[in-house]
Structure 1
């Protein structure tokens, strides 16, 4: 059986408040606790005098029928009778006003209350009150009984008297306090239940792929922080779901294009429209190579996503790797009329990296500059050692990349419109794979506007401490 949270919170709240009340009652009881109560000598004389007066009253009236009928008149009679009896008893010097009228009760022979006040069970438990009973004799037997609540010392007599006189009010206040405590506990339980219920319902909706789910985050407490984190999680899940759908669509599109070309070429050969020649075979081989390259890139990206990207790290000079890779593009840049320059770092650097993977990253970056830079433009590679990192800057001239597209460089299948587009070749996975490899080395790959008017790619790798 699952107990609802609101019920548990309510029970905990009420139990906590009751525990505080019980502890308070225990402290009050302890303050009144002591040995067995015995009436003081002078109070014993006063009680005996009261018993004598009550006995005479009973005998004179032939019973208790002569007592006033209304409660107010009977209370006045009771106080006057006790005051008259106390005046006849010896009073010690410094004796305070007697409180027996508030601590004593008159009952008939059957135990029915006639006058005075009896402590209720809660008060007896609270104040640890002891009671002593005196029998009131008559000419015909027993007229009734006088019961007195006994204090531990004279100082407690007034306190007990006040408690006994106000016990009804105290009982009402206690009940009101319990009711208010229960109400407060219910309000707290409801206040806590609502955000928890909202989070639970929101989590269920996210489980149904409803990533637009947002919950109220206006609270200024921990629940508000949790709600804001929940909304951020929903937004990220929505973005990831969109990226996944785009990834599937882009992958399908990239695979469909070379497959469609291959299918069209094969059908043309089967129909006799296109002859089986070396040129036709070369064209088909190019499409197959494009497919192999795309599948290879996808495989490496998936390995990186699962943490299975294999790296054979070793100490090396990153500038040496960059320089040898740059030299592979020297002839191609000359053919396109590009002004290619390199600026080596002013100090040597040693990093721990996979040379093949590092060469793959730099080749991809240089390839992009050689492919997209307009004929007659400039490409520059600069090495720099800053503190504990080696930085490699590859700058090219126009055309540049719009500022709004710079943050998206490195996303899978993302291509910049205009001149940097699919018509220049590539699947849009090269920069994504390069960034993944660099991050696997603990480095960063960033893109910004180049001082030459095109794009700047910055590769940063941590160096071996010296």
Structure 2
């Protein structure tokens, strides 16, 4: 079974729409032409009957009544047809019969240019003999059925049961309507010449429709391939991405929705490539971080085994400290991984931010005093209520304080300023020297990153605290940034929504 691809569906959609449009135009054109052509034939019929209308008007003027029409009946109709009806495409200077005058002569019907309309003879033209200028086998046109009614539409000539399809022409004298002459409007074509014209036009229209459909099919084929081409490129690139080739990119050549999709795909590929490299670096950093305390433990245990070091309380305490650092690192890694995947449980409720900050400072008072640090708090108000998780906000401030204590010089200072700004609360956390370079500022929130070149674990932390702090802030729909502080250290600006 054939599998329909997008280009096939697009081609069928375009060609189907074009076919319906072309067929609709053909049907409407045919109906419009048929109606207009019948109106054209009726207009020509009225021109053919115009001399007859004039003749009837003159006769009415002479008789001052319609009694002559009632008396003569059918013979009047034959006389009018044979005398004054000049069919379309016939010789206008010929008539088939001439009217009978009172003196027995057959006078010519008057013309505007005073030329005689019919020949001056006393006998009718033999209708069986071919007329000059006409082919011998040309069919003689069928005379029309006419109706005459007075000004009140009372029928004087014709059958009343055939009035449904009659068009009426007003018979006027001195701008006064004295009666009406009627004829059957055209419902179907009877002339061979007219039918030949209609058939020819219909045939040409059908060929035009076929030609337009073929051209539409070719255009639809080209358009479907053109529109599907970037999708095929996108599909091939996605296939490569699924194989782990995250360096794959697509050339964006348009500004439409497909172009935007290609741009989004490139951003996705860039993000995947960056995440892959970060994961690889993350694994390498974890391996390095875990290898160091494990190597120390192994070395000290081997020293005890080989008798290089004596088993004593000091050696046991040294082993305990390394195990403690290892457990601390593993715990930080676990919390970081949980915050990355959103597994940290958050219970949002109304909490007092100032109170949480005071609790953190009070809990670290001994460490602050032993390091010779001073804490300066600048708060606009004694109480600041916001929607947040008390435990996680406590962890946020604790990580920032531990970072300042671990990386600032002894006898330093931490300055915390809290203020509200519109619907947000702004927390500025600044510490003293040493500061960091612009390049280091961009990496402070990277996991396992330490600014100290020696990576001293006795004085520094694990390099994970700020990463966890960033995740906590973002979980509260806030932002955290780092920049140099006025105290020659680092300043962290935290923005949290109040609600």
User: TM (normalized to structure 2)?
Assistant: 0.65
Deviates more, 1:409-418 or 1:180-189: 409-418
- Distance, in Å, in 2 between the alignment partners of 1:256 and 1:306 is 25
Q: Secondary structure at the match of 2:302?
A: helix
Structure 1 unmatched ranges of 5 or more: 50-79, 93-150
- Distance, in Å, in 2 between the alignment partners of 1:374 and 1:403 is 20
Structure 1 position 228 matched with structure 2 position 263 = yes
Distance 1:158 1:85, change over 3 A: closer
How many equivalent residue pairs?
373
The answer to whether the Cα contact below 8 Å between 2:349 and 2:388 also exists between their aligned partners in 1 is yes
RMSD (Å), alpha carbons: 3.7
Q: Could you list the per-position Cα deviations for residues 99-130 of structure 1 after superposition, in whole angstroms to 9, with x for gaps in the alignment?
A: xxxxxxxxxxxxxxxxxxxxxxxxxxxxxxxx
Q: Secondary structure at the match of 1:242?
A: helix
Structure 1 position 275 matched with structure 2 position 276 = no
Choose the corresponding residue for 2:430, options 388, 392, 395.
395
Q: Could you list the per-position Cα deviations for residues 159-188 of structure 1 after superposition, in whole angstroms to 9, with x for gaps in the alignment?
A: 865454466655554443232111101111
The answer to whether the Cα contact below 8 Å between 1:341 and 1:381 also exists between their aligned partners in 2 is yes
Choose the corresponding residue for 1:372, options 407, 413, 416.
407
Distance 1:328 1:167, change over 3 A: closer
- Distance, in Å, in 2 between the alignment partners of 1:376 and 1:237 is 44
- Distance, in Å, in 2 between the alignment partners of 1:361 and 1:354 is 10
Structure 2 unmatched ranges of 5 or more: 49-80, 91-131, 145-185
Choose the corresponding residue for 1:381, options 411, 416, 428.
416
Q: Secondary structure at the match of 1:382?
A: strand
The answer to whether the Cα contact below 8 Å between 1:395 and 1:456 also exists between their aligned partners in 2 is yes
- Distance, in Å, in 2 between the alignment partners of 1:216 and 1:24 is 41
Deviates more, 1:350-359 or 1:223-232: 350-359
Q: Could you list the per-position Cα deviations for residues 284-320 of structure 1 after superposition, in whole angstroms to 9, with x for gaps in the alignment?
A: 1111111211221222223223332123455332212
- Distance, in Å, in 1 between the alignment partners of 2:189 and 2:489 is 100
- Distance, in Å, in 2 between the alignment partners of 1:308 and 1:241 is 21
- Distance, in Å, in 2 between the alignment partners of 1:26 and 1:195 is 38
Show the counterpart of 1:13.
14
- Distance, in Å, in 2 between the alignment partners of 1:356 and 1:25 is 76
Structure 1 position 204 matched with structure 2 position 264 = no
Show the counterpart of 2:319.
284
- Distance, in Å, in 2 between the alignment partners of 1:166 and 1:355 is 87
Show the counterpart of 1:318.
353
Task: Please report how far the alpha carbon of residue 349 of structure 1 lies from its aligned counterpart in structure 2 after TM superposition.
Answer: 0.9
The answer to whether the Cα contact below 8 Å between 1:340 and 1:380 also exists between their aligned partners in 2 is yes
Show the counterpart of 1:192.
227
Show the counterpart of 1:454.
489
- Distance, in Å, in 2 between the alignment partners of 1:420 and 1:267 is 25
Show the counterpart of 1:301.
336
Distance 1:249 1:419, change over 3 A: closer
Deviates more, 1:197-206 or 1:377-386: 377-386
| Counterpart mapping for 1:144-159 below 5 A | 152=187
| Counterpart mapping for 1:112-191 below 5 A | 152=187, 161-165=196-200, 170=205, 172-191=207-226
Distance 1:351 1:32, change over 3 A: closer
- Distance, in Å, in 2 between the alignment partners of 1:159 and 1:252 is 97
Show the counterpart of 2:30.
29
Task: Please report how far the alpha carbon of residue 446 of structure 1 lies from its aligned counterpart in structure 2 after TM superposition.
Answer: 2.6
User: TM (normalized to structure 1)?
Assistant: 0.70
- Distance, in Å, in 2 between the alignment partners of 1:81 and 1:46 is 15
- Distance, in Å, in 2 between the alignment partners of 1:398 and 1:298 is 28
Bigger Rg over Cα: 2
Q: Secondary structure at the match of 1:408?
A: coil
Task: Please report how far the alpha carbon of residue 456 of structure 1 lies from its aligned counterpart in structure 2 after TM superposition.
Answer: 0.8
Choose the corresponding residue for 2:274, options 232, 239, 246.
239
Deviates more, 1:421-430 or 1:245-254: 421-430
- Distance, in Å, in 1 between the alignment partners of 2:288 and 2:355 is 38
